[in-house]
């Protein structure tokens, strides 16, 4: 097989797994979960999937539950660039996914936040796989049992900064 044909196949696979908003792809998303149901969603779309590449032509769009939201461009650029720290195994050393085993005597719904990122797999300096994956969770109460975090501490801190930024933005855009 020619390298051009293989490149076309890889590109086609990437395009079929991506979530689009116009000509942009979803790269970062915060989901508020109540009893296994997404009740709130804040999504960052970018014209550039690779966080290692920056250009003056990069464009971003922030959406809250599918509706466009105005946000400072500098904030969106920073969130996009910093996702490189937790968007592939070279930095994260993998994503830990566990279920909390503590007994919780609380009543009501399980509430928590999940941060998703466009997780990239590189081979020979090219992106060969791209998928949205949860990289960080934060429990809103003891009933929320999912514990998700990067294995690497620096990646975990970078993901926590994004989660906190998204949580603050969500407060400003929620009715």
- With H, G, I as helix, E, B as strand and everything else as coil, classify residue 12: helix
The per-residue pLDDT for range 35-54, each reduced to its tens digit, is 989 999 999 999 988 777 77
Domain locations in the chain as residue ranges = 3-173
pLDDT for res 8: 42
Strand partners, 26: 45
pLDDT at 21 over 80: no
CB 41 within 8 A of CB 33: no
The per-residue pLDDT for range 129-144, each reduced to its tens digit, is 889 999 999 999 989 9
Do strands 60-64 and 67-69 pair parallel, antiparallel, or not at all (unpaired)?
A: antiparallel
Say whether pTM exceeds 0.85: no
Top-confidence residue, 20 or 105: 105
Q: How far apart are CA 170 and CA 175, in angstroms?
A: 10
Instruction: Tally the residues of the chain.
Output: 175
The alpha helices in the chain, defined as continuous H runs, are 3-17, 73-82, 89-92, 153-173
pLDDT for res 89: 86
């Amino acid at each position: 097989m020619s390298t051009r044909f293989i490149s076309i196949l890889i590109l086609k696979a990437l395009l079929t797994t991506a979530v689009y908003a116009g000509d942009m792809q979803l790269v970062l998303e915060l989901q508020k979960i109540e009893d296994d149901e997404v009740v709130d969603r804040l999504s960052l779309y970018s014209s550039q999937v690779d966080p290692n590449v920056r250009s003056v032509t990069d464009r971003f769009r922030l959406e809250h539950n599918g509706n466009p939201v105005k946000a400072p461009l500098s904030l969106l650029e920073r969130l996009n660039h910093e996702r490189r720290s937790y968007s592939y195994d070279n930095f994260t050393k993998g994503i830990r996914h566990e279920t909390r085993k503590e007994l919780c005597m609380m009543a009501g719904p399980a509430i928590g936040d999940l941060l998703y990122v466009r997780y990239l797999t590189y081979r020979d300096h090219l992106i060969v796989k791209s998928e949205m994956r949860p990289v960080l969770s934060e429990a809103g109460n003891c009933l929320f049992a999912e514990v998700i975090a990067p294995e690497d501490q620096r990646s975990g801190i970078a993901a926590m900064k994004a989660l906190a930024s998204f949580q603050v933005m969500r407060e400003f855009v929620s009715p």
